[in-house]
Amino acid sequence: MNKEKKILGLGNALVDIMTQLESESLLLDFGLPKGSMQLVDKAKSDLVVAGTKHLKTSLAAGGSAANTINGLAKLGANCGFIAKVGKDSFGEFFSNDMIASGIKPFLIESDTESGRAIALISPDSERTFATYLGASVELSDKDLKPEHFSGYDYLHIEGYLVQNHALIEKALQLAKTENLLVSLDLASYNVVEENLAFLQEMAKKYVDILFANEEEARAFTGRKEPSEALDIISESVDIAVVKVGKFGSLIKKDGIKYQIGIIDVNSKDTTGAGDLYAGGFLFGLMNGLDLEKSGKIGALLAGNVIEVIGAKMNDERWAKIQAEVDKIIA
- Name the pLDDT band for 258 (thresholds 50, 70, 90): very high
**Phi and psi based region of residue 310 (left: phi greater than 0; alpha: psi -120 to 50; beta: remaining):** left
Structural domains in the chain (count): 1
Q: In the predicted model, is pLDDT for residue 64 greater than 60?
A: yes
Contact 274, 211 (CB under 8 A): yes
Asked whether residue 288 is assigned to any structural domain, the reply reads yes
Asked whether residue 170 is assigned to any structural domain, the reply reads yes
Q: What is the pLDDT of residues 65-105, one digit of tens each?
A: 999 999 999 999 999 999 999 999 999 999 999 999 999 99
Asked whether residue 69 is assigned to any structural domain, the reply reads yes
The burial of 318, by beta-carbon neighbours within 10 Å (0-12 exposed, 13-18 middle, 19 or more buried), is given as middle
Asked whether residue 256 is assigned to any structural domain, the reply reads no
Residue 156 maps to which CATH number? 3.40.1190.20
Highest mean pLDDT among 173-177, 260-264, 271-275: 173-177
> How confident is the model over 6-27, as a mean pLDDT?
94
Distances, alpha carbon 149 to alpha carbons 106, 203, 252, 255, 281, in Å: 10, 19, 27, 31, 21
3-state secondary structure (DSSP) of residue 54: coil
Contact 162, 187 (CB under 8 A): yes
Asked whether residue 99 is assigned to any structural domain, the reply reads yes
Asked whether residue 168 is assigned to any structural domain, the reply reads yes
d(CA 176, CA 168): 12
User: Among the listed ranges 9-13, 47-51, 164-168, 307-311, which one has the minimum average pLDDT value?
Assistant: 307-311
Specify the pLDDT at position 251. Answer: 98
- Name the pLDDT band for 189 (thresholds 50, 70, 90): confident
Asked whether residue 42 is assigned to any structural domain, the reply reads no
Q: Which domain holds residue 80?
A: 6-13+63-112+138-185+262-329
- Name the pLDDT band for 1 (thresholds 50, 70, 90): very low
- pTM of structure: 0.92
